[in-house]
Chains A and B, each alone.
With several copies, the nearest count.
Chain A
Amino acid sequence: MTIRVLFFAYLRERCGVREVDVELPEGASVGDLWQRLAARFPALPTEPPKFAVNRVYVDKGHPLHDNDELALIPPVSGGNQ
């Protein structure tokens, strides 16, 4: 199955990519995909960001399906005001 992965903000800048398509075996979870990404993009932090699948926050155990859109969500703008 193919998962579209979206990078934002400092992750986009660090990894130098806005989106990539990743091939994964059926039954893979968000955590499995994160392992794959960590290997491919050494600039990713060891501590994972938050994840959203199809625009809803999910945890690492969330099962993926073909054509899902996974977004890596770094800490949002919060604070300061």
Chain B
Amino acid sequence: MMKSSYRVTSDGIDTAAMLAEVGDAGAGGTTLFVGTTRNENEGRIVERLEYEAYEAMALEEMRRIGDEIARRWRVIAVCMVHKLGVVPIGQASVAVAVSAAHREEAFAACRYGIDTLKTTVPIWKKEFYRGGEHWVGPCHAHGVSGRG
């Protein structure tokens, strides 16, 4: 039975706590991915990001991802956390930790977890860059430039 926990939070992401949560005497390897706010995106100088969630569904989607991980790989524990609100440069917005008996599974499941989280979990990112702001989406059609 895979252990799992899923959270959205307005506080900073405590990766040490996440590693402790997925720790297990049967674990040989743990893979942690941490997404952080980058100071540049597609040529724009980014000042901060701001995240908004459909919280109840976000947690349900995270759980569905965890359930799919449990079906696909022999994994011991999964922990996913997403920060909401303002995330300054260099700070963590999202983290996924996966422990398994072997590193192959820990890597594959962690990669699947973050990739799927970023395409299905209803959390949106607004980029505040020098000269404007816009909601980030695949088509970049939702920009509202400060330059007009």
Contact = CB atoms under 8 A, between A and B. Distances in A.
Interface string A55-79: 1110000000000000101111111
Interface in B103-148: 103, 118-126, 135-139, 141-142, 144
Interface stretch (B4-12, B13-21, B51-59, B72-80): B51-59
B90 interface: no
A41 B38 CA distance: 35
B57 A71 contact: yes
B54 A81 contact: no
A45 B135 CA distance: 14
Main secondary structure of the interface of B (DSSP, over half): mixed
Contacts of A79: 118, 136, 138
A75 B121 CA distance: 10
Contacts of B52: 8-9
B25 to A, nearest CB: 14
Contact of B138 (A6, A56, A75): A75
Interface in A21-61: 45, 52, 55-57
Secondary structure of the A contact surface, majority rule: loop
B54 A74 contact: no
Given A9-B52, A52-B122, A77 B57 contact: no
Contacts of B124: 8-10, 74, 76-77
Given A71-B122, A74-B137, A78-B118, A10 B54 contact: no
B29 interface: yes
Contacts of A45: 141
Given A9-B135, A57-B120, 14 more contacts: A6-B54, A10-B135, A13-B144, A55-B56, A56-B57, A76-B119, A76-B122, A76-B137, A77-B51, A77-B136, A80-B28, A81-B35, A81-B38, A81-B103
